[in-house]
Homo-oligomer: A and B are copies of this chain.
Amino acid sequence: MKNLSFEKTAIKDGFWKFYEDLNRNQVVKSVYDRFKETGRFDALKCLWKEGDENKPHIFWDSDVAKWIEGVGYLLMKNPSAKLESLVDEMVDDIAKNQREDGYFNSYFLTVNPDGIYQNRGDHELYCSGHLIEAAISYHQATGKDKLLQCMLKNVDCIYRAFVEEKTAKFQTPGHEEIELALLKLYGYLGNEKHLELARFFLNQRGEQREDSNTQYGQDNLPVRELKEAVGHSVRAGYLYTAMAILAKIDEDKELKAACDRLFENITTKKMSITGGVGAERVDEQFSYAYDLPNGDTYNETCAAIALALFAGELQETQADSKYGDLIERIYFNNLLSGVSLSGDRFFYMNPLELDLKKYQRSTFQAACERAKVFECSCCPPNILRMLATIPRYAYTVDGANIYCNQFIPGETNLTINGKDAKILLKTNYPADGELEFTYHGEPAALYIRIPSWCVEYPGETENGFAVYSVKDGDVVRVSLPMQIHFMEAHPNVQDNAGRYAVMRGPIVYCMEGLDNGENLRDITILEQGTHRVVTEDMIPAPILYMDAKRRKMTDELYRIKNAEREFFTARLIPYFSFANRKATDLLVWCMVD
């Protein structure tokens, strides 16, 4: 059971075409420009000296790596001599400055050579991991192996320092990523040493010998004993992803069981309705069960991406629509909210509520405006590489069983019974729920995910999929009723008590102050009122206009409960499109009557 590679699907039109084009036309350039300005690319030249501006940072190489990885994916679909020459120059710098023994990190080579492999928290292996992913992507795209050779040499260096000679001062990295990268490298080249090194890093965890904050850096338990998602949410997500891959390679049931427990724990106790995770702003980490604040949350874009990667790997382990459901939730909400509709501004945090006045008063509050660049700029290039591979989890194939997990209009090429096959999908999803599949190829079974939000779907399902036997030329039509739903959170989610999230299909909606005035929390949506679904320019998914009421203004600070209300039409926009005009209030969880 394998996810079909993203390049097998040509996106034709609709919602995801908007984002594919935005990514290619704007995001890649915006991220490049900011990284260029801030010296991240030049850092690879390893020429920085005390007194120079743009002092390198321990994790800058990972930013660059994710940009290269994303460019590789873009090149697989559309060649670009210009992008290629930019990458080639970076690769030359890396090759030139890589140490004889294979070590490379532009910060440590220039700023702190004595610090190499001395501190678990220093992100060296995290950077190496991202550079490995970049090398694979760029090699796949161009056939050029210079970066790949550098990284093979680098992996040998890591192997010596951590396994053979144990000269490193720690055993496992404080920020995971190397594990999944090594497993991907093993999948690409088949070198057992890379698999062994990945296993080593995963199996070393949980010895609690690394530092005092073992939970933050996922050293609290051996990986096979994990039950609860804890610690830094991006790091945790990358670790769980690696665990899922290794569980498949080794057919390791204990490891798979741990992955299942973690998936269950996150999705039933530790995730915002937008798919955001890592609620606790302090240290960007998972909080305790049901602690899911809205304004005060972290929900880093990278953490949602890491969770999608985890779900994407698990999707290959069993036919269950819950993985596709989660990926859809993340993609349509907390992932896309990380990038502006103009493709040049980003969010690191993705709160579900913003109070502009509080923000202007305090530095504690989440930013109300997307930024062009962050000091810690992991998210923008992460979005780049994800949007360059939009269909990566759309189809899973198991023999002659084809699972359609995500509904991306276009043409998908695959192989069934050793012969070429093709699926054409026509849909306006998520504007509506009409799906039309045309199949060409050997007889097969087509499993179409019926999203968990679609409680009105009248047909039968198997593990959450509607099943159709298809032969060459067959057309399958599925209609997903697209109602507006008022969602409630578990009673223990204190911040959402008495409040509801408006969803239509996979999309979570929100109100902004610019449309609805200042006191958003005082607005009540009328459940039985008129709700209009309107397509407008600028936003690639429908807007909702909903009858609503709110209290009238008064001079009194406190008064006896008063039933008087004024009625108006509230404008709700997709959550992913918030903060695309100017700084304003935001609210997802509203009152409903």
Enumerate chain A interface residues (CB-CB to B < 8 A).
267-269, 271, 273, 280, 282, 287-288, 290-291, 355, 357-358, 361-362, 455, 485-495, 497-501, 518-522, 524, 527, 550-562, 591-592
- CB A423 to nearest CB in B, in angstroms, measures 31
Are the CB atoms of B288 and A555 closer together than 8 Å?
no
Which of A287, A521, A592 has the most B CB atoms < 10 Å from its CB? A521
Instruction: Give me 20 A-to-B residue pairs in the complex whose CB atoms sit less than 8 angstroms apart, sorted by A's number.
Output: A268-B557, A271-B557, A282-B362, A455-B560, A485-B560, A487-B559, A488-B560, A488-B562, A489-B558, A490-B554, A491-B519, A491-B553, A492-B522, A494-B522, A495-B521, A498-B499, A498-B521, A498-B522, A498-B524, A501-B558
Which of A550, A555, A561 has the most B CB atoms < 10 Å from its CB? A561
Are the CB atoms of A559 and B271 closer together than 8 Å?
no
Please, how many angstroms separate the alpha-carbon atoms of A527 and B591 in the complex? Answer: 18
- CB A506 to nearest CB in B, in angstroms, measures 12
Are the CB atoms of A519 and B494 closer together than 8 Å?
yes
Q: Which residues of B contact A591 (CB under 8 A)?
A: 497-498
Are the CB atoms of A500 and B561 closer together than 8 Å?
yes
The 5 A-B pairs at the shortest CB distance, nearest first, are namely A497-B521, A497-B522, A486-B561, A491-B551, A491-B522
Are the CB atoms of A560 and B494 closer together than 8 Å?
no
Number of copies: 2
| Known contacts A485-B560, A498-B498; 20 further A-B pairs (Cβ under 8 A) | A288-B357, A485-B561, A486-B561, A487-B558, A487-B560, A488-B559, A488-B562, A490-B556, A490-B557, A491-B522, A491-B552, A491-B554, A493-B557, A494-B519, A494-B520, A495-B521, A497-B521, A498-B524, A498-B591, A561-B592
- CB A365 to nearest CB in B, in angstroms, measures 11
Are the CB atoms of A494 and B355 closer together than 8 Å?
yes
Please, how many angstroms separate the alpha-carbon atoms of A282 and B361 in the complex? Answer: 10
Residue of B nearest to A290 (CB): B557
Which of A489, A518, A554, A558 has the most B CB atoms < 10 Å from its CB? A558
Q: Which residues of B contact A522 (CB under 8 A)?
A: 491-492, 494, 497-498
Q: Which residues of B contact A500 (CB under 8 A)?
A: 561
- CB A219 to nearest CB in B, in angstroms, measures 20
Residue of B nearest to A293 (CB): B358
Residue of B nearest to A527 (CB): B561
Please, how many angstroms separate the alpha-carbon atoms of A487 and B550 in the complex? Answer: 17
Q: Which residues of B contact A498 (CB under 8 A)?
A: 498-499, 521-522, 524, 591
Residue of B nearest to A559 (CB): B488
Which of A288, A498, A501, A556 has the most B CB atoms < 10 Å from its CB? A498
Which of A268, A271, A488, A500 has the most B CB atoms < 10 Å from its CB? A488
Are the CB atoms of A269 and B557 closer together than 8 Å?
yes
Known: A519-B491, A522-B497. A268 touches B560 (CB 8 A): no
Known: A288-B357, A361-B288, A557-B271. A518 touches B489 (CB 8 A): no
- CB A153 to nearest CB in B, in angstroms, measures 44
Are the CB atoms of A488 and B558 closer together than 8 Å?
yes
Residue of B nearest to A364 (CB): B282
- CB A444 to nearest CB in B, in angstroms, measures 34
Residue of B nearest to A551 (CB): B491
Please, how many angstroms separate the alpha-carbon atoms of A495 and B357 in the complex? Answer: 13
Q: Which residues of B contact A486 (CB under 8 A)?
A: 560-561
Please, how many angstroms separate the alpha-carbon atoms of A271 and B561 in the complex? Answer: 18
Which of A486, A550, A551 has the most B CB atoms < 10 Å from its CB? A551
- CB A531 to nearest CB in B, in angstroms, measures 14
